[in-house]
Amino acid sequence: MGRYVARRLLQMIPVFFGATMLIFLMVNVMGDPIAGLCGERACDTATAAQLRREFGLDKPLWQQYATYMGNVFTGDFGTAFNGQPVTQLMASAFPVTIRLTIVAILFEIVVGITLGVLTGLRRGRPVDTSVLVLTLVVISVPTFVTGLLLQLLFGVKWGWIRPSVSPAAAFGELIVPGLVLASVSLAYVTRLTRTSIAENRRADYVRTAVAKGVPRRRVVVRHLLRNSLIPVVTFIGTDIGALMGGAIVTERIFNIHGVGYQLYQGILRQNTQTVVGFVTVLVLVFLVANLLVDLLYAVLDPRIRYA
């Protein structure tokens, strides 16, 4: 187990360097960010040259990357064009997005798995059919449509929520945005759980448990669900990274100033430091989430051993 974790952690290093280098190259291909800084008119040459020097943009790309990575290891992610250190942007953005992700994941786990178990146990019944149709609708409707619709209905027509989230972005305000963000994954979780449950329901160990007279609830929870959760856990685990990075649409609709917002601003203003910094952290989140998922397998299925 310990060796397995160590090996996985070591594997992260090349992935980390590769990913950051790719992002660095991609942002740089977009051209000279200073060109867009002065609005519709060009910056005067002297100021532009000095800004370029200040942000290290006058150096060759490999040197920029080396300096950048060197700084990252000392915890310095550079400065955004508005003069704020990127770490400061992260400190304000990540907590918000993490809260939003937690709400979304909770929705996936609680609602998604519950619905999945229900429908898996009642295949072909009206409950099953209606949930299947419902998930199909959710999957096929784009997130921004769901988001704008809920915002309009709950926020404007009925006045149940504020249409936008305040800068504090407390958990209470994030419930509807979290639901919107989770919606598509939630539908997948439901369907995955349903299939898995329906398959395992006919397994020998379930029949044995039922024959032994184990109470129904215990059969479902301890035997059936536990064995059916592996694909679901894999999905939810990888989804953590996807949700954090993919929150751009939801964050825009509800005016949440999280990671998506900062990334969007960074790309629009072609701010290499912001974009690379945020993506670097997202890559780390993704890698750690994947590792945790793999370790969870052993908890769910003790036959899985890590050498």
Stretch 201-230 residues interacting with another protein (CB under 8 A): 220-222, 225-226, 229
Judged by CB under 8 A, which of 15, 51, 102, 214 binds another protein? 51
If one asks whether residue 129 binds another protein (CB under 8 A), the answer comes out as no
Contact assessment for residue 284 and residue 119, using Cβ atoms and an 8 Å cutoff: no
If one asks whether residue 255 binds another protein (CB under 8 A), the answer comes out as yes
Q: Which residue has the tokens 């100021």?
A: 47
Closer residue to another protein (CB): 233 or 281: 233
If one asks whether residue 299 binds another protein (CB under 8 A), the answer comes out as yes
Q: What's the min distance (Å) between Cβ of 202 and another protein? A: 19
Judged by CB under 8 A, which of 227, 296, 297, 306 binds another protein? 296
Q: Convert residues 149-188 into a mask of x (bound to another protein by CB under 8 A) and - (unbound).
A: --xx-xxx--xxxxxx-xx--xxxxxxx--x---------
Bridge partner residues of 85 (DSSP):
79
Q: What's the min distance (Å) between Cβ of 49 and another protein? A: 7
CA 42, CA 45: separation in Å to the nearest integer? 8
At 85 the three-state DSSP class reads strand
Contact assessment for residue 247 and residue 97, using Cβ atoms and an 8 Å cutoff: yes
Q: Where are the alpha helices (DSSP H) in the chain?
A: 2-29, 45-54, 61-73, 86-107, 113-121, 126-140, 143-150, 175-200, 204-212, 216-218, 226-245, 248-253, 259-268, 272-300
Closer residue to another protein (CB): 185 or 270: 270
If one asks whether residue 54 binds another protein (CB under 8 A), the answer comes out as yes
What residues between 96 and 115 interact with another protein by CB under 8 A? 109-111, 113-115
Contact assessment for residue 192 and residue 228, using Cβ atoms and an 8 Å cutoff: no
Q: Convert residues 65-84 into a mask of x (bound to another protein by CB under 8 A) and - (unbound).
A: ----------------xxxx
If one asks whether residue 137 binds another protein (CB under 8 A), the answer comes out as no
If one asks whether residue 288 binds another protein (CB under 8 A), the answer comes out as no
Q: Nearest 5°: CA angle at 272, between 271 and 277? A: 110
Closer residue to another protein (CB): 16 or 154: 154
Of 288, 297, 276, 193, the residue nearest 238 (C-alpha):
288
What residues between 31 and 50 interact with another protein by CB under 8 A? 31-33, 35-47, 49-50
CA 290, CA 8: separation in Å to the nearest integer? 10
Closer residue to another protein (CB): 232 or 283: 232
Q: What's the min distance (Å) between Cβ of 299 and another protein? A: 7
